[in-house]
Structure 1
Amino acid sequence: MTTSPAKAVERQLPSEEARELLGLTRDLVQRELLPRAAEDEAAGRFPREVFRTLGDAGLLSLPYEERHGGGDQPYEVYLQVLEELASGWLAVGLGVSVHTLSCHALATFGTDEQRGRWLPGMLSGEQLGAYCLSEPQSGSDAAALRTRADLDGDEYVVNGTKAWITHGGRADFYSALVRTGEEGARGISCLLVPGTQTGLSAAPPEQKMGMKSSPTAQLHFDGARVSRDRLIGTEGQGFQIALAALDSGRLGIAACAIGVAQAALDLAVDYARTRRQFGRPIADFQGLSFMLADMATQIEAGRSLYLSAARRRDAGLAFSKEAAMAKLFCTDAAMRVATDAVQVLGGYGYTQDFPAERFMREAKVLQIVEGTNQIQRLVIGRHLTKS
């Protein structure tokens, strides 16, 4: 069963262009995402052509500069587009967030020559990116990564394994964090690796409880020789690049989480209006209406939180703490709302005839990716207590 059409959320947008952009996104969700999301998720089919459609519509390049093919949109607008996409199909919304994250290193730390050479193709929609930070033994402890890149003439020889890579084996390029120097954060650098790189291979995709249409796989570097001109920033700057990207990426996850939560709420409200027990709709029972009210309140609070952090980013203010707060709150809220949606639907919520169980499985991963919520609490606590 496909999700019923999402209800249009009332939004305060900064321009008429932004309003048109949200309208275009909603139209694409209705035409391209909702009719196929459930079936493709069940079959584990990766919707590569959907990303080309979004690229043609300009939705893969929104927060980047127009001179490189970007949309020149503030993060406040970009994140609301992500929310709309995720409300229709999380694999697509999260995929756009990951692609945007994978472009961040080049767009922010690359030279003018590098940006002019590679960024237009990355933002056009013809290419899809992936972000390579985690490894089998280093997830939250990113500074412990072991994948090495040793300079040999004009090439880096890369050896090691990356893990939990969204679009792994399907991406056209990878922003890969590698070790070029000493142990710890100061020995990490960033390479822009082509998806067709000799010596690069992908393991079979992970078998996940949700997000089955989004491939997640390990990547193996076996003597891959990456041209030195694909070093982004300077040697040893990779950890700084990674942290800067993750602050922005966490806002993307927060927006996706609210999209999933909104879809779950819409489903629960529609069901509660039409399901009758004891001669009346179950929405009339106070216990259930209170549950719906709490779900809606958590969504509005989460949306306000991620938008507030986005406006700080757009204003050039520090937003690392606020990004961690948004990621923490929004993903925890999505898990609660999706679980409550299953409860509202009762036995039907536990079946695959309705998407409530899929929302619940999808919401779980958002509490884990791009820094677990325990790590977010650690980040927030450090900001509060540092002198």
Structure 2
Amino acid sequence: MHQEFKGTPTGEQVRAEAQAFIREVLIPLEQEHGIGYESDVPIELLRQIWKASRDAGLYGAQLPEKLGGRGLTIYDQCLLKEDVVSAGAKLGAHVLGELGGPPRVGHLFGFATEQQLESHFLPVVRAERTVCFALTEPGAGSDASRLASRAEADGDHFVLNGHKRYISGAPYADFAILMAATDPTAGPKGVTAFLVDFDQPGVTLDSDYLPISGQRSHADIHLENVRIHKDNIIGGLGRGFQLGMARINVNRLLHCPTMLGLARRALTAAAEYATQRQQFGGPIAQFQAIQHMLADMATELHAARSMMLDVASRIDRGEDTREASAMSKLFASERAFQIADRALQIHGGVGLMKGNDVEFIFRALRMYRIVTGTSEIQRNTIAKGLLKNLGS
């Protein structure tokens, strides 16, 4: 179903290379170490994968060629990410550095100083260091202007205190791009982005929760009188919120291929199971009820993918996709979860058991209607744009 969409020649080459890497390197490593979707993976193994992927030209392939990447378009990136996720490798996200690699910093190279490039950003590209983005707090999620973390000036330093919550990639990271209020009275214009190394005195990480996915890829960051030199401010004082929002339309879209890759895997698993499961003298795929579910799943996946790739093309052309990106994220997250729900229904009792792929995919996709911007936040963005356009 996905073969009707093609990227650039470079994009198609990287897609083929990624599939070969997953098949020949990653999956054998997972089997050797007994890695499942919810395994606690040793950091040494992750570093081995990051380095191998970098050597294969995949880690950071999204970046421009001048930064060591392959110069992929957003359209290429969507196809590539969906391929990687749908391949079924348990550690597939690490192939492209999604949980702490170049995708986290690529849009910040234009704001980083030479010193910051050498100390933090380029080592991320080379798979030598890993990074996370720390914005969310216990009292600040969708409303990021409510940050309680504070950064107070003290000579050439700032003293940071606060608590960051549910930070994805934090357990693997060496440092964070961390948002803190330097002027609590200025709202979003008082938020500044800092480079915070985790070996700094006063920085601690912990995780007292386990998300529905069962994966320990999130952690909290605690800051207690952490002294950060002013040279570690990115983009200037009070520009942190701007930097965080600068690629929001792209970032919203680039979560869609992850969801659709999981949905594609669920559809494939459901179709295969339906042809194998015998009931009443034949495979359950012979029953119209099952066929209709599979047909709806395939149709919804095609529609969501078509929407995603349309928005990707528009971004590549330089168009404003604020509402369209929100639409794609909303539609993909809702439809992908429906696909997983039907896949679970087709599997019956087998699908309810831990260790079954569709059981994990069901839980993982339920998260995406909340994380990276809830469905309600996406609807707010869409409606705001619609009403604004009607009034113009």
TM-score by length of 1: 0.90
User: Is residue 181 of structure 2 the alignment partner of residue 182 of structure 1?
Assistant: no
C-alpha displacement of 1:114: 3.8
Alpha-carbon distance between aligned partners in 1 of 2:90 and 2:374, rounded to the nearest angstrom: 18
Q: 1:136 to 1:76 in 2, by over 3 A?
A: same
CA shift in 2, pair 1:73/1:325, >3 Å: same
Q: What displacement does 1:112 show? A: 5.5
In structure 2, the partner of 1:66 is 65
Q: Distance in 2 between matches of 1:32 and 1:338?
A: 28
1:174, 1:123 → 2: CA distance?
A: 15
Gaps of at least 5 residues in structure 1 are: 1-7
Residues 1-387 of structure 1: matches in 2 within 5 Å? 9-34=2-27, 36=30, 39-45=35-41, 48-49=46-47, 50-87=49-86, 88-89=88-89, 92-93=92-93, 96-99=97-100, 100-111=102-113, 114-115=116-117, 118-183=120-185, 184-204=187-207, 206-212=209-215, 214-386=216-388, 387=392
CA distance in 2, matches of 1:206, 1:34: 28
Count of residue pairs brought into register by the alignment: 379
Instruction: Report the aligned-residue RMSD.
Output: 2.3
- Tell me, in whole angstroms, the C-alpha distance in 1 between the residues paired with 2:2 and 2:20: 14
Matched residue type, 2:78: L
One-letter code of the match for 1:59? L
The percentage of aligned residue pairs carrying the same residue is 30
Instruction: Say if 2:130 and 2:175, in contact at 8 Å, map to a contact too.
Output: yes
- Worse-superposed segment, 39-48 or 142-151: 39-48
Q: Is the 8 A contact 2:160 2:223 kept in 1?
A: yes
Unaligned runs of 5+ in 2: none
CA contact (8 A) 2:11 2:80 kept: no
Deviation string, structure 1 residues 201-243 (Cα, Å, up to 9, x no partner): 101353122151x421110111111221121112111111111
CA gap of 1:117–1:233, structure 2 versus 1, over 3 A, is same
CA distance change for structure 1 residues 108 and 331 in 2, over 3 Å: closer, same or farther?
Answer: farther
Per the TM alignment, residue 353 of structure 1 is displaced from its structure 2 partner at its CA by 4.7
Question: Greater relative contact order: 1 or 2 (C-alpha under 8 angstroms, separation 6 or more)?
Answer: 1
Relative to structure 2, which stretch is displaced further, 304-313 or 117-126?
A: 117-126
2:145 and 2:132 mapped to 1: Cα distance?
19
Q: 1:319 to 1:97 in 2, by over 3 A?
A: farther
CA distance in 2, matches of 1:340, 1:90: 22
